[in-house]
Each structure stands twice: as C-alpha cells, then as structure tokens.
Structure 1
Amino acid sequence: MTPDDRIAITDLISLHGHLCDDGELDRLHEVFADDVVYDVSALGAAPLHGLAALKEAAEALGDANPVGHHVTNVILTEVAEGEVHARSKAIGIRADGTAGSAVYQDVVKRGSQGWRIVHRAIQPRRKPLGAR
C-alpha cells in the first residue's frame, strides 16, 4: 500500500460522514461498492445489502439520523494486493445533543473506480475499557 493509497482510503472513510450529514445519499457510490454489505446486526437490525438498501435505511430513519458523523483514529492494514482492512472510531451526534460511539470495521478494495468499502460492520461502544 502506497502513501497515496493511505490518503485515498482515509479520505474515502471520511467522505461517508460528509455525504450523510449533507443528505447526499445519491453519492454513496463514491464511498461504497454497489454490492456493499453494511452490517448493523450489533445494533439489532439485519445487515443491509447494496447501495439501495443503505439509502432506504437512512431515509427511513429520517430525523433519527445523526446530524454529525465523525470518524477518527483510522488504522489501515493491507491484507492483500488491492485489499485493506480499516478500523476507525465513529462518533455520532444527534439533533438533541446526545452522542454515540462506535467502531467501524471496513474491508476496502481497489476496483475500476478506485478504492471502495465492500463491507462495513458497526460495533457500538457502550461500556468503557473494551467491555462488551
């Protein structure tokens, strides 16, 4: 993985929050593969399959969506040529000022359109010091 790849992948992960917070759900293809698996089972819902399902879920949440998606502490590990595992911390701010913390576990692959997230698992953080 080159330094340019690291920058591109980190920017990709960061772009997700900007697109969601701006309501630009029609641009999610710039972050996720068409056949992305977005695993929200740790939040009590079934995994979402594909961009359309991702967009529909966000629209269904409506005003319950966070007003701010923030990503920090991005760690990238190359596992094969053109495939990277990314782990990052996510902070969501709701309209009422409450916040939530999670970990994104991403599989990112390079394809014809560049790097895209092909699988994301969200693990909410509810207890300190690694307790689940």
Structure 2
Amino acid sequence: MTFTADDRTAVLDLINRHGHLCDAGDFEGLAALFTPDATYDVTALGGGVLAGPSALREAALALGDANPVAHHVTNVVLTEATGSQARVVSKGLGVMADGTVSSVTYDDTVTLTAEGWRIAHRTVRPRRRPLHA
C-alpha cells in the first residue's frame, strides 16, 4: 500500500485531535485515537509506561487539577511513512491553571487499522533545556 496525501491528512488530523479531546475530558473520543494495545510512555515525566486507553483515562483522572487546562499540538511532521505505519514527531505546549507553560516533544508511531489511523505508541519527552536534543 502506498502512503497517500489522504493518509497524511488523516494522520495529521489524528495528532491534532488529541489536545482538543484531552481538554474536553472526552475519554471516549481519546480512546478512539489509540489502538487497543497502545502504549503511552510518560517515563520522562515520572508516569511510567501506560498500557491501553483505559490506563490513559485513569492517569488523567488521578492527576485531577494538576492536568493542563490546555494542550496545544504544533509542528507536526511525518518523519517516516510506509503503507500501514508512520512515525510522527510533534511539539506540545501545556498551559497550567496557574498560567505556567511547559513544552514537550511527542514521538508517535501510528498504524492503519480497520477503523482508520490510530496511535500505537507515544513517547512524551519534556523540553527543559534550549538547543538540546
């Protein structure tokens, strides 16, 4: 299968929807962005590796008011693409209730399922130092 312009649009939309659904607390919608066996690696933020959409929901609920009030995803780039998988890197900004802002890098593997493109693996890395890989 060839990775098409329609695939690219669908993958970009998938990544962009994440912040909207997080901010709305739409856990059902969020679950639909991920494969059932997706892993969400927030080890660098102290949260370990979460397995499956239900673990994401539980982690978000456990954070409660410590969650960002706004997630902004930007600079979305497909770095590798084959017929049924793509690697995507993007930037995220989290705005907290006290007005502070944090930056992260999302490193995603997305896969084409019968339901469309879904995130199979996400690693979240905080950005704390300028000009540092």
Same fold? TM cut 0.5: yes
Q: Compute the TM-score of the two structures, normalised by the length of structure 1.
A: 0.95
Name 1:31's counterpart in structure 2.
33
Letter in 1 for 2:60: A
1:29 shift after superposition: 2.3
SS of the equivalent of 2:25 reads coil
Name 1:21's counterpart in structure 2.
23
Unmatched 5+ residue regions in structure 2?
Answer: none
Name 1:111's counterpart in structure 2.
113
SS of the equivalent of 1:96 reads coil
Letter in 2 for 1:56: E
State the alpha-carbon separation in 2 of the partners of residues 14 and 49 from structure 1: 21
1:26 shift after superposition: 1.8
Alignment of 1:88-103 (within 5 A): 88-103=90-105
- Identity, in percent, stands at 54
Alignment of 1:55-94 (within 5 A): 55-94=57-96
1:77 shift after superposition: 2.8
State the alpha-carbon separation in 1 of the partners of residues 30 and 78 from structure 2: 21
1:7 shift after superposition: 0.9
State the alpha-carbon separation in 1 of the partners of residues 109 and 5 from structure 2: 18
- Report the RMSD for the aligned CA atoms in angstroms: 1.0
1:25 shift after superposition: 1.0
State the alpha-carbon separation in 1 of the partners of residues 65 and 16 from structure 2: 22
